[in-house]
Chains A and B, each alone.
Chain A
Amino acid sequence: MGALGLVYFYACAALAVAGALAVVIAKNPIRGAMGLLLLILSVAGLFLALHAQFLAAIQLIVYAGAIVVLFLFVIMLLGPSSSTPSDGRGFATRAFGGGLFAIAGLGALGATWRAMGAWRHLPMASVEPGFGGIDAFGGVLFADALVPFELSSALLMVAVLGAIAIARGRQGLASLSRAELEVARTATAGGDPTGPEAGVFSHEIDLKEQPR
């Protein structure tokens, strides 16, 4: 960890800050999502420098692989209306709030700096073998954090159900296609769904009358 480590740290930090600025400044949300991707990759690099290899991999898989792609899906689904034209309405209020937050945050950083006497350096502990690897991390995760781990699966389940319910809207049966309605009707009527053409609905779909 000599000069190369310094260069690596400052490169990753500068790229992360540039990515965050791109998220905040970009007019076009697609560029914002690309800035988010840059930030995520740089933070993954910083995780590697901190001996958190497993988290760096998770960061790449979950963030860059899933979350950014989800953002891109929604942005492209909304099309041109995903970028809002700027007008000055209420800008003063929002700028005041943002400025207050920036002053408070940077002031807290500066106050900590002064109180600690120009970075009284906390030493980095010497790395123990296996720290941050999947073996050690998994051992901790499935011993100490087993209950929260199982609860997080419930959280993800509920989130998926909630996302489907919200994105589907309150149209209920009106949003179902004709073939789906037929299945629902047969199921509730208690009829025998195993007719001669059970499971084949293509002949029932009339493209002209397909309800949206």
Chain B
Amino acid sequence: MITVEHYVAVSALLFVIGGVGFLVRRNVLVTLMSIEVMLNAANLALVAFNRSRMAHAASQTYPGPSHTGQVFVFFIIAAEAAEVAVGLAIVLAMFRLRQTVRTDDADLLKN
């Protein structure tokens, strides 16, 4: 019997892996991909809780099961597409400026 806790455990594990990758890795591209992993983990938890509690919160205007978590995930995916577009543009601009994709070398604002 698969319960919500199974999904939340997987989600927490994915989130921790993504967070460790974000903190440890130094390649900007890998850092951005780690953020994707963390957002996917959050999406999974939201959908799982929505599945578990869909009958508990009635929609204001639409009759039927609640889709609040799924609507959240929909907007997270939209925001994430925007984030990746801007983030990769920044990576390209930084590469043109410093010929590198290491986060260590992005120190133009230092000192």
Contacts and interface: CB of A to CB of B under 8 A. Distances in A.
Interface of A: 1, 5-6, 9, 13, 16-17, 20-21, 23-24, 26, 29, 32-33, 35-36, 39-40, 43, 46-47, 49-52, 54-55, 58-59, 62-63, 66-67, 70-71, 74-75, 77-78, 81-84, 89-90, 94-95, 97-99, 101-102, 105-106, 108-109, 116, 119, 121-126, 128, 130-132, 136-137, 139-141, 143-145, 148-149, 152, 155-156, 158-160, 162-164, 166-167, 169
A40 B77 CA distance: 12
28 contacts: A13-B10, A23-B17, A23-B21, A23-B33, A24-B34, A29-B33, A32-B29, A36-B37, A46-B44, A52-B70, A81-B99, A119-B5, A124-B51, A126-B55, A130-B65, A131-B67, A136-B67, A137-B67, A141-B71, A144-B62, A145-B71, A152-B78, A152-B79, A155-B78, A159-B81, A159-B86, A166-B93, A167-B89
Contacts of B111: none
Nearest to A20: B17
A26 B1 CA distance: 34
Nearest to A108: B12
Contacts of A137: 67, 70-71, 74
Contacts of B21: 20, 23-24, 98
Contacts of A169: 93, 96
A46 B7 contact: yes
B102 to A, nearest CB: 5
Contact of B67 (A83, A89, A98, A132): A132
A10 to B, nearest CB: 9
B24 A36 contact: no
Contacts of A159: 81-83, 85-86
| Interface-central residue, B6, B74, B80, by most chain A CB under 10 Å | B74
B84 interface: yes
Contacts of B78: 152, 155-156
Given A36-B37, A50-B47, A166 B23 contact: no
B61 A144 contact: yes
Contact of A47 (B47, B84, B102): B47
A29 B29 contact: yes
Nearest to B96: A169
A70 B93 CA distance: 15
B23 A98 contact: yes
Interface in B47-61: 47-48, 50-56, 59-61
